[in-house]
Amino acid sequence: MTDGCRLVMLGRQGAGKGTQCVRVARHFDVPHISTGDMLRAAVRAGSEVGLRAKGFMDRGELLPDEVIIEVVDEQLTGSESTRGGFVLDGFPRTVAQAEALDKIVAPLGGLDVVIDLDVPVSVVLERLASRRVCEKCGANYSVAEPPTNPWVCDACGGDVVQRDDDTPVAIRRRLDLYEQETAPLVAWYAERDLLETVDGLGDADDVSERIIAVIDARRSKR
């Protein structure tokens, strides 16, 4: 019987972070919480901060840090579902957000570990550049795993295309931005002895096993 974990997952786009978050959350029976999910939940609940967040989103504006932090606080401390822990995905993105998260989770016992899912840039570049998507329903394919009929969606018959923002130049720009944004965050967690870098290459099952082993080792030291 596992008794939850409080985890932050970092990793560049194309590292398989979303997939691994789902698997690890299922293993430890805790919710996988992305920033987008939290924002939607807050808006749905109609809380005060949810309504403020909705205002920014409706106007197409970026959410200020303090609003995101308040949403995270409300979702993590105000909800029964996160009692046993959580897998946080997409938050924090900055040191300021990490400091705020630190305060939010302190009463819960703090974070167990921050996983940096490491896949080399050259590999994610290739993965992302080979990505193809259905224009109509959003189903994902790749050059290596195309739909049955070349570039006709198996699910809906729509056109399967390469997204404009999946060109090598655009991908490289996003990865560079992520690196700039995340490097201080990674250093901040390393200084606090919370960071574990996990090799994200290979079979998804093997990667999950590696992550779970790292979390188990940390939890046993609690």
Shortest spacing between CB 141 and Zn ion, in angstroms:
9
Spell out the SS3 assignment of the chain: CCCCCEEEEEECCCCCHHHHHHHHHHHHCCCEEEHHHHHHHHHHHCCHHHHHHHHHHHCCCCCCHHHHHHHHHHHHHCCHHHCCCEEEECCCCCHHHHHHHHHHHHHHCCCCEEEEEECCHHHHHHHHHCEEEECCCCCEEECCCCCCCCCECCCCCCEEECCHHHCHHHHHHHHHHHHHHHHHHHHHHHHCCCEEEEECCCCHHHHHHHHHHHHHHHHHCC
Closer by beta carbon to Zn ion, 106 or else 156: 156
Pick out residues in 53-112 that bind Zn ion (CB under 5 A): none
Q: Of 49, 111, 128, 134, which lies in the binding site for Zn ion, with binding defined by CB under 5 A?
A: 134
Find the binding residues for Zn ion in span 1-40 (CB under 5 A): none
Count of residues touching Zn ion (by CB under 5 A): 8
Residue 131 Cβ, how far from Zn ion at the closest point, in Å?
14
- Per CB under 5 A, contacts with Zn ion among 138-167 are 139, 153, 155-156, 158
Closest contact distance (angstroms) between CB of 148 and Zn ion is 12
Residue ranges in contact with Zn ion by CB under 5 A: 134, 136-137, 139, 153, 155-156, 158
Catalytic residues: 17, 93, 131, 163, 174
